[in-house]
Amino acid sequence: MLRASTRRCRVSVWHWFLNFFGINNLAGYGYGFWSGIGSDIGEFALLGAIIAIYRKHNCHVDKCWRISRHPVEGTPWVVCRRHHPTINTKAPTAQQVVDDHRRAHAT
């Protein structure tokens, strides 16, 4: 025989379950569903859209997580700056910038 507090807890959990999934009829047909788990459908759709956009625009190199913006000439691949064969992947140093500037004005 269950104690009264245990029975109350089980009833409360069951009521929460029914309410969360919208199975019980709260205020009309479908109200419980759209107030419960049905309201999360839009959030799952947004999450799916974000994942789809990321998968479309990330680097084509296997397991690279970066956003791809540089098409590789002569291939269908679009890769990130790090994996592009001709783009310098390192940022210039201050001395390189000064040297390039002087070289540009010297000519």
Instruction: Give the interface with Zn ion as residue ranges (CB under 5 A).
Output: 59, 61, 64, 66, 80, 83
Which of 36/79 has CB closer to Zn ion?
79
Cα–Cα dist 70/57, whole Å: 11
Which of 26/61 has CB closer to Zn ion?
61
Cα–Cα dist 19/90, whole Å: 56
Cβ 63 to Zn ion shortest distance, Å: 9
Residue 52, CA distances (Å) to 45, 46, 48, 57, 80 in order: 10, 10, 6, 9, 18
**13 backbone dihedrals φ, ψ, rounded to 5°:** -65, -40
Which of 37/60 has CB closer to Zn ion?
60
Which of 18/83 has CB closer to Zn ion?
83
Cβ 56 to Zn ion shortest distance, Å: 15
Half-sphere exposure of 26 (CA within 13 A, CB side): 15
Cβ 62 to Zn ion shortest distance, Å: 9
Cβ 70 to Zn ion shortest distance, Å: 9
